[in-house]
Structure 1
Amino acid sequence: MADKPNNAVDFWNVNVPAELQTQECPDFLTYALENEKDRSILATRDADWHRLSWEEAQRLTLQNRLDLFERMPSDLRRYREYCFNLERKYGSVMEFVVKHRLKWQNLEPVDKPFAVDSDMKILRNDWPYGIDPRIVHLVVWTKFELPAAPSSDADPDEDLSPETRAQIQAYVDEVFINVCGAENVIWFKNWKALKSIHSVEHFHVMLFNPSDDFVDRVTGGDVSASEDAEIQKKALGGEPS
């Protein structure tokens, strides 16, 4: 690593109180030594970070620029520590999500896609992107596959098949748009390269300024890991309850 100016702060110490800063890069952030994008984010002060507006989030989704959805610097740091500890304790993030977030005993669907509620679960995104606080970021998890476009297409791993896209749209219309209005709902499925959890199918839904009652109803009162001390305790070494 190149020498830094005397007054510079190592990227892993940005947004960290002086008394908690370390000379060495923490294990959970060493990956960023080779990841220029995340290293740049982590080296940015939260005060200098630009939160995406609803209009910007809509535009990125419409343009399929999902790679531009990014977490705030301090949230990215917390997210990486969270995932690092999950992998050490549970073997994988997926193992924790399935057993302790989704509380599913298996990933076998009982019916065709979107036919029964037990094959799906809506939860808050545990570590949402750096967006307007009025935007609620949800994840719809499914036991059934959400097939990509046919292999003859240019980017088969980066988009959905027309049939799958239509099925998701119909579901989003029924569950979200009928209540919140089309102008207040966007959805997307991350490209394969952008997924942090590859073995459990899911897609993202963002709602602009929905009522708390509605969000509680569709999520069963779920609280995200980033806001729930008990979930973080499980990830950081405490015994699961």
Structure 2
Amino acid sequence: MSEVNLPYWQVNVPEDRRLADCPDFLADANAKDRRILSTKDEDYHYQTWSEVQRFIETNHLELFERVPTDMRRYKEYTWKLKREYGSVMNFILQERLKWNDMACTGEPFTNSDDYKILYNDWPYGLEQKIVHLVVWTKFDLEDDPATDDLTPKARREIDEFVERTFRSRVPRNQVIWFKNWRSLKSVHAVEHFHVLLYDADKEFVRQITHDDIALAVKVQKAERGLT
């Protein structure tokens, strides 16, 4: 069968590993997911820093996309997590955040025990110089129900945190953050927002994440038989 006529679940898969029927972990793929999965990796356009800035500044967060094979890994891995842990949220709490409870000890961002900075486990398909981090919080980041966006108070609290944590070490024009709308969140019951850094010092990122490694990196190493 010609590459252009392959069903979405067979694209970017070696011919000897293609399944006739769609695997369970891709059966619920929506229209956007199917379009991405149908794209050959070599045809994927890595999103640039200027594009990232525009998506966030214009609030078009739905334009973020993963590399097709990364999307496939993400869908398969989270499908397995739901069966092993009951939900992706349970896995994140137990294995990534290692939070035994969600009790908040103070006002937002005043106690480092109430938040954690990690790599985004399944980052978007961004140019290589962009570092994608997630700030997880035990406290609420309040949304306005009328707009599905942050309240001015919550936005101010986040921006002040980003200012002292990231912009103090990375040039201002190389730091940007956003919080997904509810409809775009892949993990719902744990509050979090995203921070993107352009060409940031690797040692600073290592320190701020406490030597964290994204799951996507671990999965790809396992596929190659590396540790």
TM-score grouping bracket, smaller chain normalisation: over 0.9
Aligned to 2:96: 101
- Cα deviation digits, residues 88-125 of structure 1 (max 9, x gap): 00000000000100011111111111110000000000
| 8 A contact 1:225–1:232 mirrored in 2 | no
Aligned CA RMSD, in angstroms, stands at 1.8
1:123-160 per-residue CA deviation (whole Å, 9 max, x = no partner) reads 000000011011000000000000012x4x4x2x2x10
Counterpart selection for 2:22 from 13, 20, 25 = 25
Aligned pair 1:227/2:224, yes or no? no
* Paired AA for residue 173 in structure 1: E
**Aligned length, in residue pairs:** 223
Task: Give yes or no for the alignment of 1:13 onto 2:3.
Answer: no
Point out 4+ residue stretches in structure 1 off by more than 3 angstroms: 4-7, 229-233
For residues 6 and 65 of structure 2, the distance between their equivalents in structure 1, rounded to whole angstroms, comes to: 22
Q: What's the counterpart of residue 173 of structure 1?
A: 163
Q: Residues 3 and 11 of structure 2 are in contact (CA less than 8 Å); yes or no, is this contact kept in structure 1?
A: no
2:64 and 2:5 map into 1 onto residues whose CA distance is 27
- Alpha-carbon distance in structure 2 between the residues aligned to 1:204 and 1:18: 37
Of 197, 216, 227, the residue aligned with 2:206 is: 216
Task: Quote the Cα distance in structure 1 between the aligned partners of 2:34 and 2:174.
Answer: 33
Change (3 A) 1:232 1:63: farther
Q: 1:86 aligns with which of 72, 81, 86?
A: 81
Which structure 1 segments of 5+ residues have no match? 234-241
Unaligned 5+ runs, structure 2: none
Identity of aligned residues (%): 46
Superposed displacement of residue 211, structure 1: 1.1
2:177 is aligned, of 168, 187, 211, to 187
* Structure 2 match to 1:121: 116
TM-score by length of 1: 0.89
Alignment of 1:145 onto 2:137? no
Alignment counterpart, residue 161 of structure 1, candidates 147, 151, 162: 151
TM-score in terms of structure 2 length: 0.94
Q: What secondary structure sits across from 1:227 in the alignment? A: helix
The amino acid of 1:77's aligned partner reads: R
> What is the CA-CA distance between 1:6 and the residue it aligns to?
9.4
